[in-house]
Each structure stands twice: as structure tokens, then as C-alpha cells.
Amino acid sequence: MKIRELLVGVAKILEDEDLAIAIETSTENQKQEFKVKADRLLYAYNLVLSDVSLNYLAPTFTEKVAGKIFNISNLSKQFKKIVSVTDGKGNEIGHKISGDKIVTSNENAEITYEYIPQKTAIDDVFEYEQKPISSRAFCYGICAEYCLFCSRYEEAQNWENKYRQAVETKIDFKSRRLKVGLKWGL
């Protein structure tokens, strides 16, 4: 799924069909009004992406590295935290982080790490499509940020509450089993 498709869904949730059509077609002769609104939606998406990756669930990336000592700044994505270091066959190998370097016990290693996504463009791929946090949760967050930009504060607060509830519920389900009687007060 592309970010464009997600933003079309957000425009439809906000009941702005003209904006949804403008984002979907995206021509150079697009009205300035729709271009500004689409840019605001993309900016709101990047804010939500940053919030999710820093506070809830960062995306992971696996990269092959050579040498026993590897500089973190040479990784292709903005490093957040190591998930695992393997020998390429799936076997865990010893490693430690020393300053801005990763020291491994093997010459060749595969490092799986969490990273912080950079600002995205409207035609980039939606990175959280296969993650526990749903695209609907992203839509709620984008709606909240967009409504703030438009000075629709009460509506923004409602979307923010839905967003937080959706994100925290997904994390809750991931980390432990739901005990129906205790969770729902039955």
C-alpha cells in the first residue's frame, strides 16, 4: 500500500470527497487549495509515523555487514536499537556496542535493528502495513493532526483519543494475552 492510498482514506473519513479525488488523481494543474490540504495530510502522516516509531513500535531492517568492528553511522537507516546479530545462517553471535561501533565475534554478520523512519513522500510505501499497528490507527492519528492544523480542536481531541486507544490496544495484545473477564469488567 502506498501512502497516497492511506491519505485518500483519511480524506474520506474526514468527509472531504473533493480532497480524496484530488489526492488520488494528483495532477500538476491541481487547485492550490487541494495541494495545501494534501501537503498538510502528508505532514500529519509524518508526525504520526514519528510518534509510532519512537513511542510504540519501530520498524526493523536487516543488513549484512563485514568486519568485526562496524560503525553505526554506516548503517543504511537511522539506527535506534539492535534486535539481533546473526552469522547469516540464523545463528546468534556475540556482539556489544562500544560508543558508536558494533563489535561482533564474526567477520561477516547480519544485523537486525530497529530504525527511525525519515520523512516520506506521498508515493512511498506504507511501512506499517504488515505490523500489529493497523492502518486505521494511523488514519485516526492523521485525522487528529489535520484537525489541529485546521483549528477544529474538539474534533482533533476525539480523533486523538481514538488513535491512542487503537495504538495502545495493539501493543497490549502483542505483549500479553487478553483476559476477557478482567479486561472488560465481566
Q: How do residues 84-104 score in pLDDT, each as one tens digit?
A: 888 878 888 888 888 888 888
Domain residues for the domain of 89 are: 60-116
Amino acid at 119: K
Together in a domain, 126 and 108 = no
What's the total number of domains in the chain? 2
Radius of gyration of the chain (CA): 20
Look at residue 174 in the predicted model and tell me its pLDDT: 53
Together in a domain, 128 and 139 = yes
Together in a domain, 125 and 154 = yes
Q: Could you give the angle at the alpha carbon of 101 between the alpha carbons of 63 and 61, nearest 5°?
A: 20
The model's confidence at residue 163, banded by pLDDT at 50, 70 and 90, is very high
DSSP E strands, 136-181: none
Look at residue 172 in the predicted model and tell me its pLDDT: 53
pLDDT digits (tens, 9 = 90+) for 29-55: 567 888 888 899 999 999 999 999 888
Percent of the chain exceeding pLDDT 90 equals 26
Does residue 173 surpass a pLDDT of 80?
A: no
User: Is position 185 within any domain?
Assistant: no
